[in-house]
Amino acid sequence: MKKEDLTKLEPHTPEWFEAMGGISMLQAAHAASLIIKTGKKEICTVCGDTPAPVGVVEPGHRISLRLCKYCQGHRKNTYDETFRVLRD
C-alpha cells in the first residue's frame, strides 16, 4: 500500500497494525494493549477513551488514527497539530 493510502485504513484492523508497525512499533503495541484491556476497537489510539472518531493528524501524519476530544486537544495545544475527522 502506498503511503498516501494509509489514511484510508480503518484504525485498529490487522492492515492498520501492519502499516502502523512500519511507522511506530511502540504506538502499534500500545494501541493493541488498549484494545486488549478495553475489549473494544472503536477507542482512542492514544488513551483508550471513547468516543474517538477516525481522522488524520495534520500536518505530517501518514496514517489514520482514532482520537478522543482530550487527545485531539492535547495534540493541538502541545504540538500545534489539527485532527481532521474523516468519519465517526
- Would you say residue 69 has pLDDT above 90? yes
What is the pTM for the complete model shown? Answer: 0.90
Domain range enclosing 64: 3-87
Q: Cell 478495553 identifies what position?
A: 38
- Taking alpha carbons only, the member of 23, 22, 41 closest to residue 31 is 41
* Total domains in the fold of the chain: 1
CA angle 50, 51, 56 (to 5 degrees): 110
Give yes or no for a contact between 45 and 38, defined as CB atoms under 8 angstroms apart. Answer: no
- Would you say residue 3 has pLDDT above 60? no
66 secondary structure, DSSP code = E
User: Per-residue pLDDT tens for 4-44?
Assistant: 578 889 999 999 999 999 999 999 999 999 999 999 999 99
